[in-house]
Amino acid sequence: MSASTDDRSVFPALAVPPPAARWPDLRVNLGTAATWLGGHVLRTALALILPVLVWGLWWVTADRQWLPEQILPSPAFVWESFTIVWDSGELFTQVQHSARRVAWSLLLGGGSGLILGFGLGLSATLRAYLLPTFRALTQIPVLGWIPLLIIFVGIEEALKLWAISLAVLLPVTLTTLDSITAIPRAHMEVGRVFAFSRWQTITRIMLPAAVPGLFSAVRQGVMQAWLTVIFVELLASSEGLGFFMAYSRSLGQIDLVIVSMFVIGAIGLGIDAVLRLLESRLLGWRRSAY
């Protein structure tokens, strides 16, 4: 006697899974988005409190003439001055001069710092001979090198490049050294187990492990170069943002001095934001690996 497949007493109906939802749970996604947006808005609002208070105090002081306009021009006058130098192209030209010096100094000082830091990290003998002296030299500020550099290279463009390169070299070297020496010993043992050569150990173990530290060294070098180029141009230069600020001060144009300050700060924030974005993109694999 055969049974039909339609006989539910013999062949009970299989549990049919519910159809997959075509759309994600909108409530969860909207809740997550709202939480993120609310936190972002709150952080932005808190960060803007102090700038808004400073701007308000500046505007009230200028409007009520608590200080003469020659000492503290109004925000509207500063903005008008900014539009004038921007439209004329003078401001962009000065930024180009400063950026060129930063680029060359990063190539010279930053490249030398990475190589020297790697050498110190790989060789205990080199650290024994050079590191104590190098750490002592880091205690000398850039201003302390200026008189000696003037004697050897003069006061032309070479002075600025040497001074900025020295300011970049020191932190990049030490940060690179720290990133190499901080590599866990267990990672090095893996190379010994697999009988890696010296070159394989460097390229397959040390470099990937030291990437965050190396990126931190580059960030420090870039920011140090940007700060130092303004300082050097204030002392001895005929072009660049630092020169533009010093020249405007000598003419009593405080509005252009304030414009220069805002431009320097805005470019510095922009550089830091770009470097942070690059870091998050390039080093995202490390966060996803844990």
Q: What is the DSSP string of 104-145?
A: HHIIIIIHHHHHHHHHHHH-HHHHHHHHHHHHHHTTS-HHHH
pLDDT at residue number 18:
54
Q: Is the pLDDT of residue 289 over 60?
A: no
Average pLDDT over residues 214-236: 86
| Residues 6+ positions from 231 with CB-CB distance below 8 Å | 142, 143, 242
Q: Is the pLDDT of residue 164 over 80?
A: yes
Which has the higher per-residue pLDDT, 180 or 18?
180
pLDDT at residue number 290:
44
How sure is the predictor about 69, in pLDDT bands with cuts at 50, 70 and 90?
A: confident
